[in-house]
Chains A and B, each alone.
Chain A
Amino acid sequence: MALIDWSKVTLTDPPQLPREVLRELKKGIDGTFREFSRGYGEAIENFFHPLLMFLKWFQDLLIETPWPLILVILGALSWWGSRSWKMVVGTVLAFLFIGWLDMWEDTMATLAIVSVATLLCIAIGIPIGILMARSDRVQAMILPVLDIMQTIPSFVYLIPVVMLLGIGKVPGLLAVMIYAIPPIVRLTNLGIRLVDKEVLEAADAFGSSYRQKLFQVQIPLALPNIFAGVNQTIMMALSMVVIAAMIGVPGLGVPVLRAVSNQYLALGVMNGLAIVAIAIIFDRVSQAFGKRLQKHREGEHGA
């Protein structure tokens, strides 16, 4: 079978695979993947079942917890992060406003998936970043994967995820994580690689093992960068809320989708702004926390 249909090639039509070959190729790939998902879909789904249960439990917990308690917890969290009364008042007011406009339940669902996604990203992303920082070869292998994860349109990887796992919270969570994990990996790697060489040499000179160097020198010194990565990961997870809603993740994305298909301007804007409010609160609190981590740099000479 010819790989190029020369009869079709002109100055405006570049050489291409014959139509029927191309069709067979696509069919072949689709068929193989479908076979795969038929064969292993259930096993994979079972593998993720505990995660699904946890997500469900966490979301129900947030929704069923009395709202005053949630406000207290959120206020306390923002105090712990930022040590600023303004932040605490702002947080409480924003969430009261969200509740007042009847978006409480969706907001809690969004908080649930974003926090679980962020925690998983941190748990998986930081070790990967550490591995990358340790070896140039691992870095060379992982960097292109991160590039793909960040640039490939989310809809494209939604297709195989949905084929494998169907519609629901877990595929939604995976989609969010694929999009949100690269910054934490990148910034962990970068942060560790940027640690002052002389300080590392000092750690070596005093007989630190790899582990001691990692936990007592590299990670603490990379924390500001790692924290910038956490912040980015949260922001990116929030920005995936609407797309996740397309594959059945409950939350603020669902009314936005409804608003798009029905041209409900007010509904769309309100829910959109609720996402923005959460994003701003998370961003400011986590940045203030990141700054506090750098407290030792205060009074630095020539800085």
Chain B
Amino acid sequence: MPDLKIKISDLYKIFGANGAAHVDKVRNGVGKTELLEKHGHVLGLQNINIDIFAGRIQVIMGLSGSGKSTLIRHINRLIEPTTGEIMIDGKDVLSMSDAELLHFRRFDASMVFQKFALLPHRTVLANTTYGLSMQGIEQSEAEKRASHWLERVGLGGFEDRFPAQLSGGMQQRVGLARALATDADILLMDEAFSALDPLIRADMQGILLDLQSELHKTIVFITHDLDEALRIGDDIAILRDGNLVQQGSSQDIVLNPADEYVADFTKDINRARVLTLGTLSHNEPSVDGIVLDSTLTLEQAMNDLAASEKEAINVTRDGQMIGQVTMRDMIYAASRVKAGDGDTVTYR
């Protein structure tokens, strides 16, 4: 298990004149609607407990109004919680002094925003150096580092343009370069790709995954798009009305939705593209089958299997045979049927 990076425990956020006075009511089961109608306070987050591990991408997903943007802003304290605890690298973020908080924001966590939030009066290069100049890094050095990151996100040659002269996708690359340039361990991404059209979004997801495979940052990624969550998330948490309703891997979320709300989310996704052979693998390796790695998705495996004209796949993990997956298993799994004829398919 990787190291624990961010630990959020027992976090509550109630918006209104005197939120703290209403925490106990919420603990005792007062809901969002009742809190608003009877007490005039808005329930932002309740009873949030989440562990985020170093070097992984933690996706937090939910519909609008579910509190996901509120939650991510607690991590760098752009929003103060009503009660709760946020520990990062064992340090309590909430007890930081103003100076410590500035230092934390400058060096330890950077952020990418939904609407890019670039400075319109500064060039692309000057936008990218913003975080570095906050760190007190000398101008020429800052520009050198910023140029490097602009190059990495594919914006070399655009240094002297203004944000307004770029397309949305390019502006968000600037946002990403600005965040990466500070070299912070934690990258907070608030619906970073939601404002982009689908092709550009997929493109940006690819860029992010490429960078992550080499940088190993701790990324907290907010989205309302399950496809996006499944594609980039190592761990996924689902928020509803300020409540965490499910936490787990993409496989868990798709195979075992915790409730109707989560099931609704997963209804329309392409399961064959999410589920992996490792998840379905069972029994002993079969005699007559092709050999494939456990991390392949069903979609990739089906292709190979069809081409081979065999009926089963022998699944390997790190070179070891761990079991088999049959054509039939894959059809069941991809078509949302929960169990087979009582013999084969069992989901953990």
Tier of interface size on chain A: 20 to 34
Task: Please give the number of chain B residues whose Cβ is less than 8 angstroms from any Cβ of chain A in the complex.
Answer: 34
List B contacts of A5 (CB < 8 A): none
Q: Give min CB distance, A219 to chain B, whole Å.
A: 10
Candidates A196, A202, A207; contact of B106 at CB < 8 Å: A207
Q: Which residues of B contact A203 (CB under 8 A)?
A: 130
The docked-state distance in angstroms from the alpha carbon of A216 to that of B130 is 9
Could you tell me if A198 and B164 are in contact, using CB atoms closer than 8 angstroms? no
Among A199, A205, A299, the residue within 8 A (CB) of B105 is A205
Instruction: For A220, list chain B residues within 8 Å (CB).
Output: 119, 121
> Is the pair A297, B120 in contact by a Cβ cutoff of 8 Å?
yes
Tell me, yes or no, whether B263 is within 8 Å of chain A by CB.
no
Interface SS of chain A: helix
Main secondary structure of the interface of B (DSSP, over half): mixed
Given A207-B106, A296-B162, A300-B164 in contact, is the A201-B120 Cβ separation under 8 Å? no
Given A206-B131, A206-B182, A299-B165, also A198-B115 (CB < 8 A) = yes
A202 and B121 alpha carbons, distance in the complex (Å): 15
Q: Does B25 contact A (CB under 8 A)?
A: no
Q: Are B102 and A207 in contact (CB under 8 A)?
A: yes
Contact partners of A297 in chain B: CB under 8 A: 120, 162, 164
- B111, closest chain A residue (CB): A205
Please count the residue pairs between chain A and chain B whose beta carbons lie under 8 angstroms apart in the complex.
Answer: 79
Q: Are A208 and B134 in contact (CB under 8 A)?
A: yes
The reply on A221 being an interface residue by CB < 8 A is: yes
Question: Quick check: B120 and A202 within 8 Å, CB to CB?
Answer: no
Q: Which B residues lie within 8 Å of A42 (CB)?
A: none
Which residue of chain A lies nearest to B101 when distances are taken between CB atoms in the complex?
A207
Cβ of A161 < 8 Å from any Cβ of B?
Answer: no
Q: Pick from A199, A207, A296, A300: contact of B117, CB below 8 A.
A: A199
Contact of B78 among A205, A209, A223 (CB under 8 A): A205
- CB < 8 Å neighbour of A196 from B104, B111, B117, B182: B117
Q: A207-B102, A207-B106 in contact; A202/B117 too (CB < 8 A)? A: yes
B28 on interface, CB distance cutoff 8 Å: no
For the complex, is B110 an interface residue (Cβ under 8 Å from A)?
yes
A154 to chain B, nearest CB (A): 38
Interface residues of A in 205-257 (CB under 8 A from B): 205-209, 212, 216-217, 220-221, 223
Q: Is B103 an interface residue (CB 8 A)?
A: yes
From B114, B118, B182, contact of A199 by CB (8 A): B118
A102 at the interface (CB under 8 A from B): no
Contacts of B101 in A (CB 8 A): 207
Q: How far is A94 from B104 in the complex, measured between Cα atoms in Å?
A: 59
Query: Is the CB–CB distance between B164 and A301 below 8 Å?
Result: yes
Is A24 part of the binding interface, using a Cβ–Cβ cutoff of 8 Å?
no
Is B121 within 8 A of A206, CB to CB?
no
Q: Which residue of A lies closest to B167 (CB)?
A: A301
B76 at the interface (CB under 8 A from A): yes
Flag if A296 contacts B105 (CB, 8 Å).
no
User: Are A217 and B164 CB-contacts (below 8 A) given A206-B131, A207-B105?
Assistant: no
- Compute how far the CA of A57 lies from the CA of B173 in the bound complex, rounded to whole angstroms: 56
Query: Complex: how many Å from CA A56 to CA B235?
Result: 74
Q: Is the CB of B120 within 8 A of A221?
A: yes
> Which one of B105, B114, B168 contacts A206 once the chains associate, using CB atoms below 8 Å?
B105
CB distance from A203 to the nearest CB of B (A): 8
B159 CB to nearest A CB, Å: 14
Query: Does B113 reach chain A (CB closer than 8 Å)?
Result: yes
A217 to B163, alpha carbons, bound, how many Å?
15
B39 → A minimal CB distance (Å): 25
The yes or no answer to A147 lying at the interface (CB within 8 A) is no
B178: A residues at CB distance < 8 A: 206
Residues of chain A within 8 A (CB-CB) of B188 are: 205
Give the docked Cα–Cα distance between A201 and B109 (Å). Answer: 14
Closest Cβ–Cβ distance, residue B109 to chain A (whole Å): 8
Q: Chain A 261-276, CB within 8 Å of chain B: the 1/0 string?
A: 0000000000000000
Q: What is the CA–CA distance of A103 and B109 in the complex, to the nearest angstrom?
A: 65
Q: Are A206 and B120 in contact (CB under 8 A)?
A: no
* A13 CB-CB contact with B under 8 Å: no
Residues of B within 8 A of A196 (CB): 117
The B112-135 residues at the A interface (CB cut-off 8 A) are 113-115, 117-122, 130-131, 134-135
Q: Does A204 contact B (CB under 8 A)?
A: yes
Q: How far, in whole Å, are A48 and B229 apart by their CA atoms in the complex?
A: 68
A20: CB under 8 A from chain B?
no
Question: Binary interface profile of A, 156-189, with partner B (CB < 8 Å = 1, else 0)?
Answer: 0000000000000000000000000000000000
Expressed in whole angstroms, the minimum distance between the Cβ of A175 and any Cβ of chain B is: 37
Listed residue (B105, B120, B163, B168) with the most chain A CB atoms within 10 angstroms of its CB: B120
Report the minimal beta-carbon distance from A200 to chain B, rounded to whole angstroms.
9
Which residues 175-195 in B have Cβ within 8 Å of A in the complex? 178, 182, 188
Q: Which chain B residues lie closer than 8 Å to A212 at the CB level?
A: 134
- The answer to whether the Cβ of A136 comes within 8 Å of any Cβ in the partner chain is no
Q: How far is the CB of A191 from chain B (nearest CB, A)?
A: 13
Asked whether, in the complex, the Cβ of A199 is within 8 Å of the Cβ of B164, the reply is: no
Determine the distance from Cα of A198 to Cα of B188 in the docked complex, in whole angstroms.
14
A203 to B78, CA, bound (A): 11
B residues contacting A by CB (< 8 A) are 76, 78, 101-107, 109-111, 113-115, 117-122, 130-131, 134-135, 162-165, 167-168, 178, 182, 188
What are 7 of the A-B contact pairs (CB < 8 Å)?
A: A204-B78, A206-B178, A207-B131, A207-B134, A207-B135, A296-B164, A299-B164
- Which residues on A are within 8 Å of B, measured CB to CB? 196, 198-199, 201-209, 212, 216-217, 220-221, 223, 296-301, 303
Having A206-B105, A206-B106, one finds 18 other A-B pairs with CB under 8 Å, namely A198-B114, A198-B117, A202-B111, A202-B113, A204-B105, A205-B105, A205-B188, A206-B110, A206-B131, A207-B135, A221-B121, A296-B121, A296-B122, A296-B163, A298-B165, A299-B165, A300-B165, A301-B164
Nearest 6 pairs of A and B residues by beta carbon: A207-B106, A207-B105, A202-B117, A300-B164, A205-B111, A296-B162
